[in-house]
Amino acid sequence: MHPVIERAGMAAELPSWAQCRPRRREHGVRVGDLLSTWATGLDLPECERIRWRAAGVLHDALKDAPLTELHAIAGQGWPDPVVHAPACADRLGADGVEDRLLLEAIRYHPVGHPDLDALGEYLILADFLEPGRSGGSGNRARLRELLPDGSAEVLTVVVGRRLRRLLDKNRPLMSCSVDFWNRLVRE
């Protein structure tokens, strides 16, 4: 396991290049802890539990970086509100992290992608359902109770809500988000 992943997964430590205010850092730790709880609930081995926790701790590590910097790292095609995700994945890759599925989980966590594996799907769920999020907390608690076993059902609720919000604002959808949604509702 790469030392950056090990430190994030075991000690909730962010790499030195992280640009992440304290409240955001706390959000990342809560997402990581929720992923860790679900990994245990799914009987995953200890190394996977650490890896899942690391994905949560790290997923927003660059979210407070300037947009120009994020777009320079991530390249074209990413809207401002989500560009922190591919930038973080690319920065981890530049550090030598070769765990492709963990990098893809981080890269696509705000938008979804049809090729995401279980970690990618549970990261989307944990980001939305972590207990520190304000607003609709009763509803979030009810959805959390269905996890980790009812992930397909809850994912449809969470992703559907996110897409509906964009549609209501007449905002564009990324094609990977549409393909992800189609996969979820066809399964």
Does residue 51 contact residue 119 with C-beta atoms inside 8 Å?
A: yes
Please report how close the Cβ of residue 186 comes to Fe ion at its closest, in angstroms.
27
What stretches of the chain show up as alpha helix (H) in DSSP? 3-11, 22-41, 46-58, 67-74, 84-94, 100-107, 118-129, 137-145, 151-168, 175-186
Task: For Fe ion, give the closer residue by CB, 49 or 59.
Answer: 59
- DSSP assignment, residue 14? P
Q: Does 127 bind Fe ion (CB under 5 A)?
A: yes
Task: For Fe ion, give the closer residue by CB, 45 or 61.
Answer: 61
Interface mask toward Fe ion for 6-45; x: CB under 5 A: ----------------------------------------
Q: Does 121 bind Fe ion (CB under 5 A)?
A: no
- DSSP assignment, residue 171? -
Q: Which two tokens stand for residue 103?
A: 């990098």
Where does this chain touch Fe ion (CB under 5 A) — which range of 93-101, 116-124, 127-135, 165-173? Answer: 127-135
Q: Does 104 bind Fe ion (CB under 5 A)?
A: no
**Of positions 34, 60, 116, 155, contacts Fe ion by CB under 5 A:** 60
Alpha-carbon span 51 to 48, nearest angstrom: 5
Please report how close the Cβ of residue 109 comes to Fe ion at its closest, in angstroms.
7
Please report how close the Cβ of residue 150 comes to Fe ion at its closest, in angstroms.
21
Please report how close the Cβ of residue 165 comes to Fe ion at its closest, in angstroms.
15
Alpha-carbon span 170 to 13, nearest angstrom: 38
**Which of helix, strand or coil describes residue 77?**
coil
Alpha-carbon span 102 to 119, nearest angstrom: 7
Task: For Fe ion, give the closer residue by CB, 60 or 121.
Answer: 60
Residues that bind Fe ion (CB under 5 A): 60, 127
